[in-house]
């Protein structure tokens, strides 16, 4: 799946997202001896992975740094980490709302800096990760970062950083919105009389199976929906409710716009 791993990988922070990424990489053959995790708690991460509570005195040549802490911690992290970075230090940031210009200003010695926005299914190798960089990042570095991300699922390079918050709203935040939908579908089933435990199992299996089918089908999801709905049938009646005045589309557009706007506010420091 991957030709080679970074000689050394330093994770600054290892919360839900970074932890899922690391778990998948280890499952795919990354040598834990190549990994160091910096986390103030010092809690273990995985067998063989070194965990430190403070910054090292130096970084090995060619280190790839994954910035996986909370975005508001960037100033403190950069103050301690930037002096350790050299031209061959690669920075991969999964910090929402932190622009490439901000990262370059804080890590001026590093030539290769890439923004990445993964989503939680990366831990299963079924995630989506959007990537963005600029012309200052070497072509080989771009290829190496893409190769590192590929075991996590779909990789999408974004041409315009101005779209990064939109992409984050869709794929980065999207799993939470889908989890909420699955929960609502189950609760709706319960509301019309299905036992709660059965409704929960059926809602989850229905979404999982439908997503798998959509991924394999030649038709778009919109076309598939219409194919399922026979004229005058039960499915069509339900779709008529969702489609009336584009209510489902409007709800999801408002949801993504709210997430996007929060990302833009975070980039302004709000």
Is there a domain that residue 142 lies in? yes
Query: CA torsion sign, 99 to 101 to 105 to 109?
Result: positive
Same domain, 19 and 152: yes
Describe the strand order of the beta sheet including 64-67 as a list of residue ranges: 50-52, 35-38, 9-12, 64-67, 90-93, 112-117, 127-132, 153-157
For the domain that residue 105 is a member of, what is the CATH number?
A: 3.40.50.720
Report the share of the chain in percent with pLDDT over 90. Answer: 89
Same domain, 35 and 122: yes
- Look at residues 66, 10, 61 and name the one whose alpha carbon lies nearest to residue 34: 10
Is there a domain that residue 167 lies in? no
Is there a domain that residue 136 lies in? yes
**pLDDT at res. 3:** 55
How high is the mean pLDDT of the chain? 94
Same domain, 245 and 145: no
Unique residue bearing structure tokens 């969702």: 242
Is there a domain that residue 3 lies in? no
When divided into structural domains, the chain yields a total of 2
The answer to whether 81 touches 11, Cβ cutoff 8 Å, is no
Give the mean model confidence (pLDDT) for residues 115-144: 95
- Where does a domain end: 102, 134, 159? 159
The answer to whether 149 touches 125, Cβ cutoff 8 Å, is no
Is there a domain that residue 105 lies in? yes
Give the mean model confidence (pLDDT) for residues 120-142: 95
Same domain, 111 and 84: yes
**pLDDT at res. 265:** 86
For the domain that residue 248 is a member of, what is the CATH number?
A: 1.10.3730.10
Same domain, 178 and 153: no
Question: Is pLDDT at 183 greater than 70 in this prediction?
Answer: yes
Same domain, 200 and 123: no
For residue range 97-112, list pLDDT tens digits in order: 899 999 999 999 999 9
Same domain, 101 and 19: yes
Question: Is pLDDT at 1 greater than 70 in this prediction?
Answer: no
Segment holding 267, helix H or strand E: helix 247-267
User: pTM score, two decimals?
Assistant: 0.87
For residue range 214-257, list pLDDT tens digits in order: 999 999 999 999 998 988 999 999 999 999 999 999 999 999 99
Q: Please give the span between the terminal C-alpha atoms of the chain, in angstroms, as a whole number.
A: 40
Give the mean model confidence (pLDDT) for residues 7-21: 95
Quote the domain boundaries for residue 82.
Answer: 9-159
Is there a domain that residue 220 lies in? yes
Question: Is pLDDT at 84 greater than 70 in this prediction?
Answer: yes
């Amino acid at each position: 799946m991957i030709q080679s791993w970074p000689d050394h990988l330093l994770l600054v922070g290892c919360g839900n997202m970074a932890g899922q990424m690391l778990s998948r990489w280890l499952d795919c053959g990354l040598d834990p001896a190549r990994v160091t995790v910096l986390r103030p708690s010092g809690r273990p991460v995985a067998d063989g992975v070194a965990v430190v509570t403070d910054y090292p005195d130096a970084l090995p040549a060619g280190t790839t740094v994954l910035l996986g802490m909370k975005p508001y911690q960037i100033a403190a992290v950069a103050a301690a980490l930037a002096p350790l970075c050299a031209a061959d230090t690669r920075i991969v940031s999964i910090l929402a709302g932190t622009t490439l210009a901000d990262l370059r200003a804080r890590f001026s010695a590093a030539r290769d800096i890439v923004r990445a926005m993964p989503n939680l299914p990366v831990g299963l190798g079924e995630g989506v990760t959007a990537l963005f960089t600029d012309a200052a990042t070497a072509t080989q570095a771009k290829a190496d970062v893409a190769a590192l991300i590929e075991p996590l699922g779909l990789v999408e390079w974004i041409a315009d950083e101005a779209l990064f918050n939109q992409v984050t709203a869709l794929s980065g935040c999207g799993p939470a919105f889908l989890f909420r939908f699955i929960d609502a579908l189950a609760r709706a089933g319960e509301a019309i009389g299905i036992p709660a435990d059965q409704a929960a199992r059926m809602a989850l299996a229905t979404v999982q199976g439908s997503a798998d089918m959509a991924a394999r089908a030649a038709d778009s999801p919109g076309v598939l929906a219409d194919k399922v709905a026979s004229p005058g049938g039960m499915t069509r009646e339900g779709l008529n409710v969702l489609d009336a005045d584009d209510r489902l589309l409007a709800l999801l557009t408002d949801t993504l716009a709210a997430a996007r706007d929060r990302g833009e506010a975070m980039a302004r420091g709000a």
